[in-house]
Amino acid sequence: MNACAIAAAVRRGQVSALAVAERAIAACGADSHVAVTRVLAERARDAAAKVDATIAAGGDPGPLAGVPYGVKDLFDVAGLPTTAGSAFRREAEPAPQDASAIRRLADAGAVLVATLNMDEFAYGFATINASYGTTRNPHDPSRLAGGSSGGSAAIVASGALSFSLGSDTNGSIRVPASLCGLYGLKPAHASLPLDGTFAFAHSFDDIGPFATNLGDLALIWEVLLGRAVADGGAAYPIRVARLGGRFRQNADPAQLAAIDAAAPDAPLVELPDIAKARSAAFLMTAYEGGHLHRDTLARDAMAYDPAVRDRLLAGALLPDALYEHAVRWRGEFNARLRARFARFDVLLAPATPCVAPSIADPRIEIDGALSPARADLGIHTQPITFTGLPSLCVPLKRAGQLPLGLQIIGMPGCEARMLRFAVMLEEKGLTGVTAPIAGSTFGAHVGELT
């Protein structure tokens, strides 16, 4: 059952928020996908009881009344250390208050149930974590869930929670959404509140939701945004372009076929200097992440996951002048991009170059050669993040096959238009969530309760 349906049932008194929370607590406690790092049972029960008390008193608990969710383990949760996926932060000072995003969801009646696995310090596209384990894909547990928000995607794809929050620096929402067959939104840069999250690279970081349907995703986005949003262009057709060049060189044929079927008459266009943009994004991310951790690395580098430590050390050694050059070039690149694509509302591209790779051999083929999935699953998302543009991952309709997603990329402030176009793709039968979500035990349990 989706979030909107759960909230409606709770508000009508058909099911108690506490009963829904107990089911979610049990489902997260039985997690077999290495998605959950902590089950917040007592907190969830207390929050659910408050929702039920508000309803009993005739009040309105909010649009997400009693809906259970989880957050990537880099969101501050009051009274707990924010681990950011690192073992040595388990003993960090407890967060004094919840992250702003969690507070907004609580005000809307949502019930936080769990913190979720991630690549250490969000540095990776695989959720291979030396301390917490490798998150497994619910569609095939022998495969990766993607990252760095892999736990956030896997827990929703498994059916244990209605939605979750992740963060996206270079594709960390869109990559696992594609591999786990979900909707995942990276909004326009800095449009949602980041305070109370453990940063990776401040020039790129954003937060966003994973959901099983567009109605839930739109509602959660508006709750996080703090206001309702209307599509000002709803009376006009959506102007679409298909991204070519590098975006068609490393893509699954099913993605290209879906893109062409979605907008057969749309022009095929190329982003200028796309390879250079991705290189600049790599450099800026490494520099910002390395400098953020520079003092801690100097004190205790061996406490880090070795695969993360070496990349952070390399970033910390990058010269300031090189970083500043990349920042200036990004400004020039964005100006050219916006001028070139001002006549379009959305751009269509693959979200990942392939389906989820094997955990036993976490490599993917890029330009005809095998490459580490941890670094290159974001080949199509990283250049988009570099621009700060919003991007929505939508799952292809692939019953009985491993999931794959597309990116719907919008212009600044056009998230509502992106969502409208996503609805159109669903209506064409091209996109939509498929099993294992359709057969999730959590939805069945809530159905029994109602």
Active-site amino acid positions: 72, 148, 172
Which residues is 137 bridged to in the sheet?
140
Residue 216 DSSP label? H
Helix (H, G, I), strand (E, B) or coil at 161: coil
First-to-last C-alpha distance (Å) of the chain: 11
What phi and psi, each to the nearest 5 degrees, are found at residue 69? -150, 175
The two tokens of residue 27 are: 């489902």
Which residues is 395 bridged to in the sheet?
405
Residue with tokens 């928020």: 17
| Residue in 251, 243, 252 with CA at minimum distance from that of residue 272 | 243
| Residue in 175, 189, 183 with CA at minimum distance from that of residue 218 | 183
Residues 6+ apart with CB under 8 A from 366: 250, 353, 376, 379
CA separation, residue 364 to residues 249, 300, 331, 375 (Å): 14, 33, 31, 10
What phi and psi, each to the nearest 5 degrees, are found at residue 206? -145, 160
The two tokens of residue 133 are: 């384990």
Task: Tell me which H or E stretch contains 176.
Answer: helix 174-180
Asked if 149 contacts 105 with a C-beta cutoff of 8 angstroms, the reply is no
Taking the C-alpha atoms of residue 139 and residue 127, their distance in angstroms, rounded to an integer, is 16
Taking the C-alpha atoms of residue 219 and residue 151, their distance in angstroms, rounded to an integer, is 22
Backbone CA torsion sign across 206, 207, 211, 214: negative
Quickly list DSSP for 89-153: GTTSPPBSS--HHHHHHHHTT-EEEEEE--SGGG--SS-EETTTEEPEETTEEEEE--SSSHHHH
